[in-house]
Amino acid sequence: MDQEEETLTETLGPQPEDVATSSKYQEELEEFLQSRYASRIDSLATHYPEEKSLIIDYNELDEYNPEVAEMLIKDPYRIITLAKKALEAQKPMMSLERTFKPNVRFKNLPDEYEFSIKDLNSSLINKLVAFEGTVKKITEVKPKLVKAIFECVHCNKIHQIKQNYKDNKLGKPSKCIACNRKSFELLEEDSEFLDTQKVEFQEPIENMRGKEQAKPITAWIQDDLTNILTPGDKVGITGVLRIAESKKKGSIYNKYVDINHLYKKQTEFEDLELTEEDIEEVKKLSNDPLIYERIVGSIAPSIYGYPNIKEAIALQLFGGTQGKEKPDGMHIRPDIHILLIGDPGTAKSQLLQYVEGLSPKGIYVSGKSSSAAGLTATAEKDEFGEEGWTLKAGALVLAAGGMALVDELDKIGKEDRSSLHQAMESQRISVAKAGIVTTFKANAAILAAANPKYGRFDKYELPAEQFNIPPTLMSRFDLMFPVKDEPNREKDRALAKHILITHRVAGTRAIGRKLEAEKEEEEKRTLPDIDPDLLRKYISYSRRHIRPVLTDEAEERIRDFYIDLRKVGESQDSVPITARQLETIIRLSEASAKGRLSDKVEIEDAERAIRLQKTCMQEVGVDPETGKFDIDIIATGSSKSKMNRMKTVIRIIKDLNKEYDEAGYEAIKDEAKEKGIEKEELGDILKDLKKNGDVYTPAYGVYKPTEE
């Protein structure tokens, strides 16, 4: 760590006043430690080496000796080294026999030394800085050589060489100072190794505004700070900003941080900083009788229509009651997952991107462009890890405690699909690869969009058959909305008008002019009702403080809805609703209560949740043939009536095989027709049966059941 300092002193030679000030600083540090940290040093000495660091509060040092504190910022290596010496100097009092070489770490730097990652520029090089970061990548822990002991193979002279841990080159003596020759042997037992880990941090999403790109920075962790972090962790850091020569580009230097102290922060997006005035404003807003309409009116106002989708998204932003557990300790997911499925060019992507900006912590990813690491999490061998393993966090992990906006869900790869599956229900992602087994927190609410397999939505087909998404994944979504682009003169005119106004507003603003008075009313409709900044704070506050509970009336209303619908199912021989949808309704009604900062779920909240759930089910959970609710459409990808007809066809094939030892297409067709299944549909059913492996064709036009 102090190699740089050493080389500097070597080249310049010790400056007399430096030596003098250094010993003065060391004395002052010794006094400081004795007066403020004596008992903690005692305890450290007792527990060393299980405990290896003394953590000093910057404010205390600043209070005791502002000059040394200032020097710590300006010349951190020097002061940290002196502080270590000062600490080691306490050793005689503790009559310790063994080596006592603890780290000295500094926490709580004042705000003026706290930067965002993108502001860590070259003026701060070799200074002590503080910043916040989310772990994006982290390598496994490796022992790095810090002090190498070499023996000259000719004359056995011992040389001690401090290593530069940031590159992989072994620092060797250039020649033997005794015999001038150049062959050495590394004495590993006598050399000193230190655990190190390389990390890439990125700006926490909740700290960014608008469409900024999250800036990364590489950092090194050592000794007792290793093995603490996993990808997705949000961390507060104190460290020294350094530069290293880039391996590839000659004169370009890479920045990195040598970490002195770190601590984990909460990763929830609720910790958006709110001032007293903010809270007052938030509370005032919650008393508006039209608060609900106003929130919905603030979701992507530039996008025309979709009142139900916007309402669902509003609820999703608040989420259900957090921190609930079943009596047996099972965690209950509070996040609401929503899927938009439908025609291209219907503003799905736009909607997702808007919500990314509105959510206090939101990440947008597209299934088309994202690799496995992009969406969930992976372990890889790569350059960053210098041939070792690197754990990488994808969007779901980075968005933990917030929202993940997943576009083109139908295009994501198999591997991601299965971790997405896991993340949506258990809110974790596990990676098991070559001896690495880790679990990442991935409690993000998911708003996803998907396009149909054949370009356009066909309302006569079942949704599960039109999307490249397995039904098991599909059924993990609380709400599913088909987004259809059907020509409708009135709607088309209104949409065109809306889009044109949006463009005109944007255009006049771009050239700094104001709109004519009569257009102002129209302009309003394309602007958010509540300022996005305030809404973000409002959501944040609600998520942090409001934990609504169902009232008796609301509970009764939900129960009745569920039981009534199940009863209908009984009489029509289908399953219209399952416990999953019941949980969705509970989550939605809790979110609705949170929307007005109420800790009681009232009957109106239950009604709203039921209405939304019903609208969705009417659109996607209805068998197009019978017009009845049938949850199997979502859960298994096939309606009861279709399943029944598939069963009929299998029966026919089995019977024909039993009787004639063969089922030819013509015979199947005749039998099927008798049972009311037409030729076209029979073709589809046979295809499905083959795909599912229920039947196979040993010869052209001949069908056999896979099991008798």
Site for ligand ADP in 591-620 (CB under 6 A): none
Residue 678 tokens read as 């037409």
Backbone angles phi, psi at 264, to 5 degrees: -80, 140
Among 495, 603, 635, 702, the residue binding ligand ADP under the rule CB under 6 A is 495
* CB-nearer residue toward Mg ion: 238 or 349: 349
* CB-nearer residue toward Mg ion: 347 or 431: 347
Site string for Mg ion, 606-645 (x = CB under 5 A): ----------------------------------------
Q: What DSSP element (H or E) covers 362?
A: strand 362-366
CB of 317 to ligand ADP, least distance (A): 19
Query: Which of the listed partners (Mg ion, ligand ADP, none) does 81 bind, with a CB threshold of 5 to 8 Å by partner kind?
Result: none
Site string for ligand ADP, 349-388 (x = CB under 6 A): xx--------------------------------------
Report angle CA 628, 629, 633 to the nearest 5 degrees: 110
Residue 397 tokens read as 């992990």
Q: Which of 344, 294, 213 is nearest to 531 (CA)?
A: 294
Residue 458 neighbours by CB under 8 Å, 6+ apart? 452, 466
Q: Which residue type, as a one-letter code, is found at position 374? A: G
Residue 253 CB: number of other CB atoms within 10 A?
14
CB of 347 to ligand ADP, least distance (A): 4
Number of residues that bind Mg ion (CB under 5 A): 1
CB of 558 to Mg ion, least distance (A): 35
Query: Which of the listed partners (Mg ion, ligand ADP, none) does 303 bind, with a CB threshold of 5 to 8 Å by partner kind?
Result: ligand ADP
Burial 566-591 (b: 16+ CB within 10 A, else e): eeebeeeebbbbbeebbebbbbbbbb
Residue with tokens 């002196």: 82
* CB-nearer residue toward ligand ADP: 228 or 499: 499
CB of 84 to ligand ADP, least distance (A): 57
Of the candidate spans 11-19, 31-39, 349-357, 388-396, the one that interacts with Mg ion by CB under 5 A turns out to be 349-357
Of the candidate spans 116-124, 229-237, 371-379, 494-502, the one that interacts with ligand ADP by CB under 6 A turns out to be 494-502
Among 25, 256, 304, 561, the residue binding ligand ADP under the rule CB under 6 A is 304
Residue 330 tokens read as 């099972």
CA-CA distance, 398 to 361, in Å (whole number)? 9
Q: Which residues pair with 638 in a beta bridge?
A: none
| 499 lies in the site for ligand ADP, by CB under 6 A | yes
Site string for ligand ADP, 317-356 (x = CB under 6 A): ---------------------------xxxxxxx------
CB of 516 to Mg ion, least distance (A): 34
Of the candidate spans 87-95, 348-356, 623-631, 643-651, the one that interacts with Mg ion by CB under 5 A turns out to be 348-356
CB of 102 to Mg ion, least distance (A): 55
Q: What DSSP element (H or E) covers 432?
A: strand 428-433
* CB-nearer residue toward Mg ion: 349 or 589: 349
Of the candidate spans 162-170, 302-310, 386-394, 568-576, the one that interacts with ligand ADP by CB under 6 A turns out to be 302-310
Q: Which of 231, 22, 229, 53 is nearest to 136 (CA)?
A: 231
| 443 lies in the site for Mg ion, by CB under 5 A | no
Burial 71-88 (b: 16+ CB within 10 A, else e): bbbebbbbbbbbbbbbbe
Q: What DSSP element (H or E) covers 217?
A: strand 216-222
E-state strands within 552-633: 600-601
* CB-nearer residue toward Mg ion: 318 or 364: 364
* CB-nearer residue toward Mg ion: 349 or 592: 349
Of the candidate spans 76-84, 303-311, 507-515, 670-678, the one that interacts with ligand ADP by CB under 6 A turns out to be 303-311
CA-CA distance, 145 to 170, in Å (whole number)? 8
Asked if the bond preceding 49 is cis, omega within 30° of 0, the reply is: yes
Give one word for 579, left, alpha or beta, with left for phi > 0 and alpha for psi -120 to 50: alpha
| 260 lies in the site for ligand ADP, by CB under 6 A | no
| 346 lies in the site for Mg ion, by CB under 5 A | no
Residue 520 CB: number of other CB atoms within 10 A?
11
* CB-nearer residue toward ligand ADP: 303 or 442: 303
Among 235, 296, 303, 372, the residue binding ligand ADP under the rule CB under 6 A is 303
* 8 A C-beta contact, residue 301 and residue 526: yes
Among 171, 305, 470, 532, the residue binding ligand ADP under the rule CB under 6 A is 305
Looking only at Cα atoms, what is the longest distance across the chain?
108
CB of 464 to ligand ADP, least distance (A): 20
Beta-strand pair 663-664/445-450: unpaired
Query: Which of the listed partners (Mg ion, ligand ADP, none) does 495 bind, with a CB threshold of 5 to 8 Å by partner kind?
Result: ligand ADP
Query: Which of the listed partners (ligand ADP, Mg ion, none) does 558 bind, with a CB threshold of 5 to 8 Å by partner kind?
Result: none
Residue 185 neighbours by CB under 8 Å, 6+ apart? 150, 151, 153
Rg of the chain on CA atoms, in Å = 33
* CB-nearer residue toward ligand ADP: 305 or 624: 305
Q: Which residue type, as a one-letter code, is found at position 532? A: P
| 475 lies in the site for Mg ion, by CB under 5 A | no
Burial 412-450 (b: 16+ CB within 10 A, else e): beeebbebbebbbeebbbebeeeeeeeebbbbbbbbbbb
| 103 lies in the site for Mg ion, by CB under 5 A | no
Query: Which of the listed partners (Mg ion, ligand ADP, none) does 234 bind, with a CB threshold of 5 to 8 Å by partner kind?
Result: none
Q: Which residue is nearest to Mg ion (CB)?
A: 349
CB of 213 to ligand ADP, least distance (A): 21
* CB-nearer residue toward ligand ADP: 303 or 653: 303
Of the candidate spans 152-160, 183-191, 346-354, 426-434, the one that interacts with Mg ion by CB under 5 A turns out to be 346-354
| 349 lies in the site for Mg ion, by CB under 5 A | yes
CA-CA distance, 448 to 337, in Å (whole number)? 8
Of the candidate spans 127-135, 493-501, 563-571, 669-677, the one that interacts with ligand ADP by CB under 6 A turns out to be 493-501
Query: Which of the listed partners (Mg ion, ligand ADP, none) does 515 bind, with a CB threshold of 5 to 8 Å by partner kind?
Result: none
Residue with tokens 């709109």: 515
- Identify the three-state secondary structure at position 299: coil
* 8 A C-beta contact, residue 225 and residue 55: no
CB of 240 to ligand ADP, least distance (A): 45
Of the candidate spans 347-355, 423-431, 527-535, 616-624, the one that interacts with Mg ion by CB under 5 A turns out to be 347-355
CB of 357 to Mg ion, least distance (A): 16
| 411 lies in the site for ligand ADP, by CB under 6 A | no
Residue 215 neighbours by CB under 8 Å, 6+ apart? 117, 118, 202, 203
- Interface residues with Mg ion (CB under 5 A)? 349
Residues in contact with ligand ADP by the rule CB under 6 A: 303-305, 344-350, 495, 498-499
